[in-house]
Chains A and B, each alone.
Chain A
Amino acid sequence: MKGPLTLISHSARRVRTLVLVMGLVLASFQIVLNLVAASIHRSNMFDQIGALLPGFLQQMTSFVAIMSFAGVVCAGYFHPAVMGCLVGLMIALATETASEVETGFIDLVLARPVARHWLVTRSIVLLAAATLLLLGAMLLGTLTGVRWLAPEGATGPTPRLLASLAANLGALVLSWGALALAVGVISRRRAVAGSIMGVAAFCAFLLDYLARLWKPLGSIAWISPFRYYSPMELIMGQPLPTRHLWVLGGVTLSGFVIAYVLCARRDV
Chain B
Amino acid sequence: MDPAAIRIDGITKRFGRINAVKDLDLEVKPGEILGFLGLNGSGKTTTIRILLDLLRPTAGRAFLLGHDCQREGIRVRSRIGYLPGAMGMYGDMTGEALLGLLARLQGRPVDPERRRSLQETLGLSTADLSRRVREYSGGMKRKLGLIQAFQSDPELLILDEPTEGLDPLMQESFHAILAQARGRGATVFMSSHVLSEVERICDRIALLREGRLALCDSVERVLRLAPRRVRVSFGSDVEPPSAAPPPGARWTGIGPRAWSLEVEGPLGPVIASLSGLPILDIEVHEPRLDDVIRGYYLGVRS
List residues of A whose CB falls within 8 A of some B CB: 2-3, 6-7, 10, 14, 100, 103-115, 265, 267-268
Residues of A within 8 A of B218 (CB): none
A14–B107 alpha-carbon span in the complex (Å): 21
A104–B101 alpha-carbon span in the complex (Å): 15
A6–B89 alpha-carbon span in the complex (Å): 16
Chain B interface residue bracket vs A? 20 to 34
Asked if A268 and B54 make an inter-chain contact with CB atoms under 8 angstroms apart, the answer reads: yes
Since A108-B88, A111-B80, A113-B74 are in contact, a sample of 16 more A-B pairs with Cβ atoms closer than 8 Å, ordered by chain A residue number, is A3-B104, A3-B106, A6-B104, A14-B90, A100-B88, A109-B105, A111-B54, A111-B77, A111-B84, A111-B158, A112-B107, A113-B78, A113-B105, A114-B105, A268-B49, A268-B55
B85 to chain A minimum Cβ distance, whole angstroms, is 9
Asked if A110 and B56 make an inter-chain contact with CB atoms under 8 angstroms apart, the answer reads: no
Interface residues of B in 67-83 (CB under 8 A from A): 74-75, 77-78, 80, 82
- Cβ-closest chain B residue relative to A114: B105
Asked if A112 and B78 make an inter-chain contact with CB atoms under 8 angstroms apart, the answer reads: yes
In the complex, whether B192 has a CB less than 8 A from a CB of chain A is no
Asked if A10 and B101 make an inter-chain contact with CB atoms under 8 angstroms apart, the answer reads: yes
In the complex, whether B190 has a CB less than 8 A from a CB of chain A is no
List residues of B whose CB falls within 8 A of some A CB: 49, 52-56, 74-75, 77-78, 80, 82, 84, 86-90, 101-102, 104-107, 148, 158
A106 to chain B minimum Cβ distance, whole angstroms, is 7
Question: Contacting A107 at CB < 8 Å: which of B56, B78, B80, B82?
Answer: B82
A54 to chain B minimum Cβ distance, whole angstroms, is 53
Residues of B within 8 A of A105 (CB): 88-90
A113–B106 alpha-carbon span in the complex (Å): 6
Q: 30 pairs across A/B with beta carbons < 8 Å?
A: A2-B104, A3-B106, A3-B107, A10-B101, A103-B90, A104-B84, A104-B86, A104-B88, A105-B90, A106-B88, A107-B49, A107-B52, A107-B82, A107-B88, A108-B89, A108-B148, A111-B54, A111-B82, A111-B84, A111-B158, A112-B106, A113-B74, A113-B107, A114-B77, A265-B56, A267-B54, A267-B55, A267-B56, A268-B54, A268-B55
A109–B89 alpha-carbon span in the complex (Å): 11
- Cβ-closest chain A residue relative to B98: A108
Residues of B within 8 A of A108 (CB): 82, 84, 87-89, 102, 148
Given A107-B54, A111-B54, A113-B78, A3-B105 contact (CB < 8 Å): yes
- Cβ-closest chain B residue relative to A109: B105
A111–B149 alpha-carbon span in the complex (Å): 10
- The 10 nearest A-B residue pairs measured at CB: A104-B88, A111-B82, A103-B88, A105-B88, A6-B104, A268-B54, A112-B105, A107-B84, A113-B78, A113-B77
Asked if A110 and B74 make an inter-chain contact with CB atoms under 8 angstroms apart, the answer reads: no
Residues of B within 8 A of A111 (CB): 52, 54, 77, 80, 82, 84, 158
B226 to chain A minimum Cβ distance, whole angstroms, is 36
Residues of A within 8 A of B53 (CB): 110
- Cβ-closest chain B residue relative to A265: B56
A109–B106 alpha-carbon span in the complex (Å): 9
A81 to chain B minimum Cβ distance, whole angstroms, is 28
- Cβ-closest chain B residue relative to A111: B82
A93–B102 alpha-carbon span in the complex (Å): 21
B109 to chain A minimum Cβ distance, whole angstroms, is 11
- Cβ-closest chain B residue relative to A100: B88
Residues of A within 8 A of B87 (CB): 104, 108
Residues of B within 8 A of A107 (CB): 49, 52, 54, 82, 84, 88
B68 to chain A minimum Cβ distance, whole angstroms, is 14
Asked if B52 and A110 make an inter-chain contact with CB atoms under 8 angstroms apart, the answer reads: yes
Residues of A within 8 A of B78 (CB): 112-113
Interface centre among A2, A6, A108 (most CB of B within 10 A): A108
A110–B69 alpha-carbon span in the complex (Å): 12
B30 to chain A minimum Cβ distance, whole angstroms, is 20
B281 to chain A minimum Cβ distance, whole angstroms, is 54
B86 to chain A minimum Cβ distance, whole angstroms, is 5
Residues of A within 8 A of B56 (CB): 265, 267
Given A115-B74, A267-B56, A268-B54, A6-B105 contact (CB < 8 Å): yes
- Cβ-closest chain A residue relative to B76: A113
